[in-house]
Amino acid sequence: MTKRFTALGCALTVSVLALTTTAFADDDKNAAFYNAALGKVNSSLSETEGADQGRVASAEIANVRTLVGQGQAYVASDKLDEAAGILERAQVSARYARMKVERVGAESRATEAQTQATAALKAAADSKVAAETMQAKAKDLESRGL
């Protein structure tokens, strides 16, 4: 499942980067372009929201939803220069929210791995003590000729 989220995060990052690059490559974008780009941001945001099990990025997600609404209002008002700026902010904020969710997931996996490593080290230490005890007992029996 974590591989899926990581792959999804990478795919979303690449697609949002591509959108950002194309958004500024040509100043003659029309309303359809901005509506489609804002829709893609909203769609990626829904995926991020679904992956945000701990609700760690809820404030960022709400902020991006507000930006998308503002962007759509600018497009409807034919203020495409303003829409371009809002689109860029929305894309960057959506990426930030996604990365925040991924970071928390990675930290959780790291904590779990650390817990497992600590348990394995304790088990190894316990086994060492038990082995040393048995070795001492074997030597004692051998020294007594048993």
Long-range pairs for 125-130: beta carbons < 8 A, 24 or more residues apart: none
Q: 99 in a domain, yes or no?
A: yes
Domain-embedded: residue 142: no
> Which pTM does this prediction carry?
0.66
pLDDT at site 141: 92
**Structural domain range at position 48:** 2-109
Total of domains in the chain? 1
User: Is residue 119 included in any domain, yes or no?
Assistant: no
Q: What tokens appear for 28 in the block? A: 């003659």
Let me know: does 52 contact 58? Beta carbons within 8 Å: yes
**Is 55 contained in some domain?**
yes
Report yes or no on 91 lying in a domain.
yes
The answer to whether residue 14 sits within a structural domain is: yes
Q: What is the pLDDT of residues 91-119, one digit of tens each?
A: 999 999 999 999 999 999 999 999 999 99
**What is the residue-averaged pLDDT of the chain?**
88
Q: Would you place residue 79 in the very low, low, confident or very high pLDDT band (cuts 50, 70, 90)?
A: very high
